[in-house]
Structure 1
Amino acid sequence: MILQQARLKLYYAGGTTGPQAENIVKLKTAGGVEGADPNVLPVSEETARLQVRNGRVVPEYTTDLSVADRFSREHYLIIVKVKAKYITRGSVSESGWVYAIYCTSGTCWHN
């Protein structure tokens, strides 16, 4: 079961800016930064709680497109495919999930 979960890929949406969306696509990381690391650990629950309280701590994506649209700046939206082993629960009310900025992602769609 753990092996299956590590291989499971999930789809998440995130609202962002144009330059950030371009970096996520180009660099193939959830945070749009250089240094993709396929062995990065999930964000700790403590960091996830900090993200929920304050925001802008680690990338947070959602499974709810309307939430992603509300958080988009300049109406940029990106959908990424991420392995389940990288995610930690974020904001429950926003259907949020947080990732380490260096976790590898596949971009499925952006505008």
Structure 2
Amino acid sequence: MGPDGARGARFAHILCKPAGDLLKYRYLSRRSLLPLKRSAEELSFAFSELLAQPLSRPEAAARFETLWNEVNDAAQSCDDSDAAFTYIALLHSMDQRWRFLRSMN
């Protein structure tokens, strides 16, 4: 039997499992790749740490954009409007502090 035949025989047992089991494992593996949504306080702390780090302008800008996108995604995924407003207030604060920092340098 060639390598392809052996490989096919090795994975043949997967097709015998019930469809529900396959979907369960696929769901768990996809979910484990997604990061958990951080709270507004955690993201605010991460932003404060970013401002305190001695980074080059391009690296700091890239990290700011990544953090900005994370806060924005968290705000959009909120079911509760109060929680969404907390993230939106954080975005406003981040914008103001980032602009002030860029003008100082």
Structure with the largest fraction of helix? 2
TM surpasses 0.5? no
TM-score w.r.t. the length of structure 1 is 0.25
Structure with the largest fraction of strand? 1
Highest RCO, 1 vs 2 (Cα 8 Å, sep ≥ 6): 1
Instruction: Report which of the two structures shows the higher radius of gyration computed on alpha carbons.
Output: 2
